[in-house]
Amino acid sequence: MNLGKFLSLDETSLYNGELYTVLTNKEANGKKGSIVAIIKGTKALDVIDVLKKIPVGMRNMVKEVTEDMAGSMNLVAKECFPRTVIVTDRFHVQKLT
């Protein structure tokens, strides 16, 4: 598995309103290897449990995680990628203005 150094963490509704958390490798530019994980649900502790199965050495190589301003996604990023810079995605910042 190639995690990549720049990740994006977001939630989406894929089917019948069921929410999923999606972790993507931004360096893959939407091509093969873009999706790192799709996790059913958005509860921070559930997502953390799944992402912590990725070896810590790989998680520590991540330099940046882009996420929305949801508290749960921020907690996931901090817990699973403690050595990374957390960035709020531009779309959500622009919605505030």
If pLDDT is split at 50, 70 and 90, which confidence band does 94 have?
low
pLDDT, greater one: 2 or 79: 79
Domain residue extents for the chain: 6-96
pLDDT, greater one: 93 or 78: 78
CB 81 within 8 A of CB 59: yes
- If you classify domain 6-96 with CATH, what class do you get? alpha beta
92, with CB counted inside 10 A (0-12, 13-18, 19+), is middle
pLDDT of residue 96: 58
Residues 24-78 have pLDDT tens digits of 999 888 788 899 999 999 999 999 999 999 999 999 999 999 998 787 899 999 9
Spell out the residues 6+ positions from residue 51 whose beta carbon is closer than 8 angstroms to its own.
Answer: 23, 37, 39, 59, 76, 80
